[in-house]
């Protein structure tokens, strides 16, 4: 992987004339901050004023402060394929993204609606399968999903909640309309970066926070804790013992696991810390075995239980599936949620919402072509240059072809892959993702952004902290915002 230079520590050019916003190029995209050259949108006016009063050198100095903060805090992000254990500083951009209250209200309602429908879908798929009977979702797509788990058939999960933590990736197109790009219902990550970016921004732009009335997000760990508590097995009493199960220190999100564990005050365990005895799960401690009631697990189904899933897993807890099915422990998220965030199922979510809730989807999907459909397939193979192709079971920006940026060889490779396994691929038109001013190489440049809010679904309530992780592509022109692909993050301000 090519070395990526984080925004932090970028060399700062000499003071620009007329401050940072002068000479900013809007391009042909929807710009989050400016409605036309030099004219900020109303909710960005204060920030734009602040930025144009500031020179690159002054901003650079503030970046150095933030840089030191991240470095000594050891906030890193491990990228697979790099030398494991080598932390890089988390690429972070200090120009915040701002969302007005009325815009957020719509997003929030759309997210609640979507997650309700997805949880109902999962309960249905693993019980009566009415949506298949009604002919709305093709059964082949469900049973053919490698994340469909027949072990979950007929099993009632506490509160009928499957996806306790959901991350929904939103993008805005050329008109500024919010679209759902994908759902993440297995082990979505990034929330620690959302929280840490806010800590850093508070140091950098303290005065602006005051004037803007930014809604707080630091309640997230408490809300996660409440969510987990609400789905504890009934027998565990009022203070269930909750743990966070991590794959271990070499996982790219380990920092986040550790961060959330500390913030919630729960034990972070690895598989070797847990033991199943008579369908009950225990911690091995220096004072013997201690019962565990709820496991917030940040490890894929495949690796969870070598007796049930991948036998070669060295990260799993033998027998945990049986303990789960016996109702003695709750897993969050539930096993088998991956069938609902499968990219081949994604196009059906608006219809799911209509089927289960009798409502129209508040947040629309991106139009999607199925390689399994012969008409779609022919179109996709003919138009690879314009489309984004995604492998249905991969995430994190892996297994993707971005048509407009691809080489002929890459397109040939994908053509071969798609024809060989059509079930494995979907294609979408390349969205002209909205852009946001981002501090790169000493000046503000428009970089593409997305937004991942986190939705907590408990037995008692659905909780969403106002905001999310705004990811930004830091390579010029790049549409890929995943942090594993050289993307960075921005603080996201939802206004009161």
Partner 1 sequence: MLSRVAESLYWTARYVERAEDVTRLLDVNFHALLDAQVDDRGQAWLQIVQLLGDEERYAEHYDEATAVNVSDWVLWHDGNPNAVVNCVTLERENARSVREQISGEMWEAINKLFLLVRGANRRAVSRGPHAFFEQLRNGAHLFQGSADATMTHGDPYEFIRLGLQLERAATTVRIVTSRYPRALALEHDDPARARQLIALLESCSAFEAFVKRHGTLFEPAAIAEELIRSADFPRAVRYCLASSLDAVSRISSDQGAPHRILGRLVAGLEYGEAGDISGEAMSQTLRELLTGIHAAGEAVTKAYFSSRALPAGALAMQEAQQQQCG
Binding site for partner 1 (CB under 8 A): 71-74, 78, 80, 84-85, 186-187, 247-254, 258, 261-262, 267-270, 272-273, 283-287, 298-300, 302-303, 312-315
Q: Closer CB to partner 1, residue 11 or residue 312?
A: 312
- Least CB distance to partner 1 at residue 11 (A): 20
Distance CA 250, CA 262 (A): 18
Report yes or no: 266 and 257 within 8 Å, Cβ to Cβ: no
**Which tokens in the block code for residue 230?**
């609400």
- Least CB distance to partner 1 at residue 82 (A): 10
Q: Closer CB to partner 1, residue 24 or residue 254?
A: 254
> SS3 for 182?
strand
Distance CA 16, CA 442 (A): 9
- Least CB distance to partner 1 at residue 319 (A): 15
Bridge-partner residues for 146, per DSSP? none
- Least CB distance to partner 1 at residue 337 (A): 12
CA contacts within 13 A on the Cβ side of 75: 21
- Least CB distance to partner 1 at residue 274 (A): 10
Distance CA 365, CA 182 (A): 8
Q: Closer CB to partner 1, residue 49 or residue 302?
A: 302
Helices (H), 205-359: 206-212, 220-230, 254-264, 301-304, 320-325, 349-357
Report yes or no: 348 and 330 within 8 Å, Cβ to Cβ: no
Q: Closer CB to partner 1, residue 189 or residue 406?
A: 189
- Least CB distance to partner 1 at residue 7 (A): 20
Q: Closer CB to partner 1, residue 286 or residue 407?
A: 286
Report yes or no: 114 and 464 within 8 Å, Cβ to Cβ: no
Q: Closer CB to partner 1, residue 135 or residue 288?
A: 288
Sign of CA dihedral 105, 106, 107, 111: positive
Sign of CA dihedral 396, 398, 400, 404: positive
- Report residue 258: phi and psi, to 5°: -65, -40
Q: Closer CB to partner 1, residue 248 or residue 404?
A: 248
- Least CB distance to partner 1 at residue 312 (A): 8
Q: Closer CB to partner 1, residue 29 or residue 69?
A: 69
Q: Return the closest-CA partner of residue 394 out of 412, 357, 367, 421.
A: 421
Distance CA 313, CA 331 (A): 18
CA contacts within 13 A on the Cβ side of 418: 29
> SS3 for 91?
coil
Q: Closer CB to partner 1, residue 316 or residue 467?
A: 316
Q: Closer CB to partner 1, residue 72 or residue 407?
A: 72
- Least CB distance to partner 1 at residue 469 (A): 17
- Least CB distance to partner 1 at residue 129 (A): 27
- Least CB distance to partner 1 at residue 248 (A): 4
Give the start-end residues of each E strand in 298-424: 330-332, 369-370, 387-391, 400-402
Q: Return the closest-CA partner of residue 228 out of 27, 451, 460, 429.
A: 460
């Amino acid at each position: 992987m090519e070395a990526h230079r984080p925004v932090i520590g970028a060399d700062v050019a000499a003071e620009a004339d007329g401050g940072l916003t002068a000479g900013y190029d809007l391009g042909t995209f929807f710009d989050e901050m400016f409605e036309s050259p030099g004219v900020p949108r109303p909710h960005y006016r204060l920030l734009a004023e602040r930025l144009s009063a500031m020179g690159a050198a002054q901003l650079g100095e503030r970046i150095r402060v933030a840089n030191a903060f991240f470095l000594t805090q050891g906030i890193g992000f491990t990228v697979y394929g790099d030398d494991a254990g080598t932390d890089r500083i988390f690429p972070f951009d200090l120009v915040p993204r701002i969302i007005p209250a009325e815009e957020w209200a719509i997003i929030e309602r759309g997210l609640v609606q979507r997650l309700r429908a997805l949880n109902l879908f999962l309960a249905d798929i693993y019980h009566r399968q009415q949506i298949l009977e009604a002919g709305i979702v093709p059964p082949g797509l469900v049973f053919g999903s490698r994340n469909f788990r027949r072990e979950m058939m007929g099993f009632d999960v506490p509160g009928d909640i499957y996806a306790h933590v959901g991350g929904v990736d939103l993008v805005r197109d050329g008109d500024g309309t919010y679209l759902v790009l994908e759902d993440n219902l297995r082990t979505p990550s990034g929330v620690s970066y959302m929280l840490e970016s806010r800590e850093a921004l508070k140091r950098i732009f303290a005065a602006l926070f005051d004037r803007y009335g930014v809604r707080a997000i630091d309640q997230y760990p408490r809300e996660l804790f409440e969510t987990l508590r609400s789905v504890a097995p009934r027998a565990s009493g009022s203070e269930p013992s909750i743990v966070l199960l991590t794959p271990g220190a070499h996982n790219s999100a380990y920092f986040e696991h550790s961060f959330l564990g500390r913030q919630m005050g729960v034990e972070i365990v690895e598989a070797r810390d847990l033991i199943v005895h008579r369908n009950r799960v225990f911690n091995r401690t220096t004072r013997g075995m201690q019962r565990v009631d709820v496991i917030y697990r940040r490890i894929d189904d495949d690796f969870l239980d070598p007796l049930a899933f991948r036998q070669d897993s060295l990260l799993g807890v033998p027998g945990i599936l049986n303990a789960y099915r016996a109702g003695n422990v709750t897993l969050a998220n539930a096993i088998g949620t991956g069938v609902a965030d499968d990219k081949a199922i994604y196009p059906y979510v608006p219809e799911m919402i209509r089927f289960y809730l009798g409502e129209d989807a508040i947040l629309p999907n991106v139009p999607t072509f199925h390689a399994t459909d012969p008409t779609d397939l022919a179109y996709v193979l003919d138009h690879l240059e314009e489309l984004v192709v995604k492998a249905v079971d991969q995430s994190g920006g892996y297994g993707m072809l971005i048509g407009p940026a691809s080489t002929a060889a890459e397109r040939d490779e994908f053509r071969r892959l798609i024809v060989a396994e059509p079930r494995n691929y979907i294609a979408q038109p390349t969205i002209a993702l909205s852009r946001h001013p981002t501090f790169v190489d000493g000046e503000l440049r428009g970089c593409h952004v997305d937004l991942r809010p986190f939705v907590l679904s408990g037995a008692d309530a659905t909780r969403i902290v106002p905001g999310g992780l705004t990811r930004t592509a830091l390579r010029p022109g790049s549409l890929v915002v995943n942090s594993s692909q050289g993307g960075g993050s921005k603080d996201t301000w939802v206004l009161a």
